Structure 1
Amino acid sequence: MKAYVRAWKNCWEGRACAPEFKGRLRSRMSVDVPQGRDLAVTRLSRHVGQVRIPKVGVVRLRWSGPIPGVGRESGRVTGARLVKDVLGWHIVFRTEVEVGTPAQHPGPAVGIDRGVNVALALSDGNDQHHGPWLRPKEAERLLRLERKAARQRRARQPFERTSNRLHRTYDQIAGLRARAKRRRHDWQHQATTKLASTYGTVVVERLRITNMTRSAKGTTKQPGRNVRPKAGLNRAMLDEAHARTVELLEYKLTERGGQLLPVPAAYTSQTCSTCGHRDPASRAGIRFACTSCGWTGHADTNAAVNILNAAGLGRVRTWSPAPEGREASTTRRAT
């Protein structure tokens, strides 16, 4: 009831839409413990702890990290939430910690281009890569289970209840995808922590992921082109979870005295970072070859340098129109 009242207050004050019914199959099962005074969180060993849950009793848990207010950690536990997903039950603690104003980060500035070929391309060349989220055998098993689920769906009659075998296949698919999601989240935490500790100012593109991953199917009167390649590109972009990377990077930079600067993303991949000439023909896949000055290099690194320049922290360029669709450029050093 407390969450329900808060949802209506947020709606009336213009911060959110009106609350709706939660779908049983489209949401995760969760139980909220609003107060932390009776949880009695105790650490038993390096990887094992226990917590007292109301109406359940003492439950053991796997200790995955330090919790403020437990042991020698400063702070206090204000509540918890039990969440169930395909990998099992998890407990998330709400904590309260007093944090002072951090000193300004002394690190340098860097521009980051988020992509598919290179996950995080940095303007100084210190790119952040990752391997596939699923191992080869796991990817083969996922493909086999998806084909199996498609055969089981074809065998169903219209309006027939989903069989237990199909439900079991769905659970196995969800387990593999949840494992990949956990590995991706772990890599994002490690990469963003490294970046926030090294650099004082990080410049990123202001991307609209929803518009970028829109389907190219089109309509009946105006069908789209290259629908299947665009669908594969959309899946690859969504699999990177670029928006979450920026969210993690933003709060980690704030904790360390750094800052995150978003800049417009227009033409950063078509502009030469050396002479400032803009031409779509300069980029061919991951290779960038300027049609004006002849500079060649990696396209993602070139875009990362342009992103840094767009924030006024590198070389700032101003473009003036030139005849025959070309653009002349002038370069000046930012103070």
Structure 2
Amino acid sequence: MKAGQKAGYPRFKGGDRFDTVEWPKDGDGCRWNSQPEHPTATYVRLQGIGHVRVVQHRPVQGTVKTISVKREGRRWYVVLSCDDVPERPLPATGRQVGVDLGVARFATTSDGEIVGNPRADFHHKTARALIASCDVIAVEKLNVAGMTRSAAGTVDAPGVNVAAKSGLNRSILDAGWARFVNILTGKAEEAGRRIVFVNPARTSIDCHRCGTRCTRPRQDTVICPACGPIDADTNGARNIATRAGLGSGQAAA
């Protein structure tokens, strides 16, 4: 309450509110048991529960460091974070793109590829597809914590457009930009690909063709006084590619 917000009653948190638990160290409350004779069928030992059988979608490589158990619908998943994972370089593709992360669309690349936003846990598949098809990927260095800071303000200086800002914050957090970038970076390191982080300032609002400041009458469109209407996400992705030194990132007209 130091910032002057109004205090409220504690909210009841039911058992179904929590769907993830993480153990920060293998062997401390949780143990991953590898069985070489059964590479796709093994067990995880959870303190207070015992051994739970796990079906692996691929063999574990490296040294298991942290273990998470996650619930999605009626299914449970074990997520392992590993150190010392050997690199598995992919062949060069000749493709270099800038990627603009958004709310209405999850991602748009500088060469025109659009990835929808189904509000689901599809980060791994999207990251894997980008890593498989691109040698270099440029993304904005986003401060998600700052972007989703509350607009409520204080009693003496209340915020403005609080409801709209709250809705935008939920959309940003729901899209999971920070988590996606972490996953993308990890997969790039394993595959020998390169991730370039660029300054996010005005990437969507400056015209990628002439650099003129645009207006943004709608979330999906910017209007350049010289070049006319442009898709806002594509404009942002091409500016990101340019700032990373990847050229304009434009698809052939």
Normalised by the length of structure 2, the TM-score is 0.74
Structure with more strand by fraction: 2
Shift of 1:65: 1.2
- The change in CA–CA distance for 1:289 and 1:90 in structure 2 (over 3 A counts) is closer
Residue 80 of structure 1 and its aligned partner are, at CA, apart by 7.9
State the alpha-carbon separation in 2 of the partners of residues 222 and 58 from structure 1: 53
**In 2 relative to 1, CA 126–43 (structure 1 residues): closer, same or farther, beyond 3 Å?**
farther
Partner in structure 2 of residue 287 of structure 1: 221
Report the Cα offset of residue 99 of structure 1: 2.5
Identity across matched positions, percent: 29
The aligned counterpart of 1:253 is 188
Q: Which residue of 2 aligns with 1:106?
A: 93
* Equivalent residues of 2:44, 2:53 under 8 A apart: no
Residues 63, 84 of structure 2: 8 Å contact kept = no
- Work out whether 1:63 is the aligned partner of 2:55: yes
Q: 2: distance between equivalents of 1:299 and 1:67?
A: 41
- Counterpart contact for 1:203–1:307, Cα < 8 Å: yes
Deviations along 1:226-269, whole A, 9 cap, x unmatched? 10111011011011110111111112122222100000011111
Amino acid at match of 2:246: L
Aligned match of 1:263 in 198, 201, 205? Answer: 198
The residue that corresponds to 2:130 in the other structure is: 195
Per-residue CA deviation, residues 5-28 of structure 1 (Å, 9 max, x unaligned), is xxxxxxxxxxxxxxxxxxxxx993
Change (3 A) 1:267 1:258: same
Q: Which of 170, 191, 194 matches 1:235?
A: 170
Residues of 2 paired with 1:43 and 1:105: CA distance? 35
SS in 1 for 2:197: strand
Task: Choose between structure 1 and 2 for higher RCO, CA contacts under 8 A separated by at least 6 residues.
Answer: 2
Larger helix proportion of the pair = 1
Equivalent in 217, 235, 243 of residue 302 of structure 1: 235
Other structure's SS at 2:115 match = coil
Q: What does 1:1-335 align with in structure 2 at a 5 Å threshold? A: 28=21, 30=23, 32-33=26-27, 39=33, 41=35, 49-51=41-43, 53=45, 59=51, 61-68=53-60, 81=67, 83=69, 91=78, 99=86, 102=89, 105-131=92-118, 133=119, 183-184=120-121, 187-279=122-214, 281-282=215-216, 284-291=218-225, 293-315=226-248
Shift of 1:38: 9.8
Q: CA separation of 1:67/1:213 partners in 2, compared to 1, >3 Å: closer, same or farther?
A: same
- TM-superposed deviation, 1:223: 1.4
Gaps of 5+ in 2: 1-17
Give the structure 1 partner of residue 9 of structure 2.
none
Bigger Rg over Cα: 1
Deviation at 1:214, TM superposition (A): 1.0
How many residues are aligned here?
Answer: 229
Aligned Cα RMSD in Å? 3.8
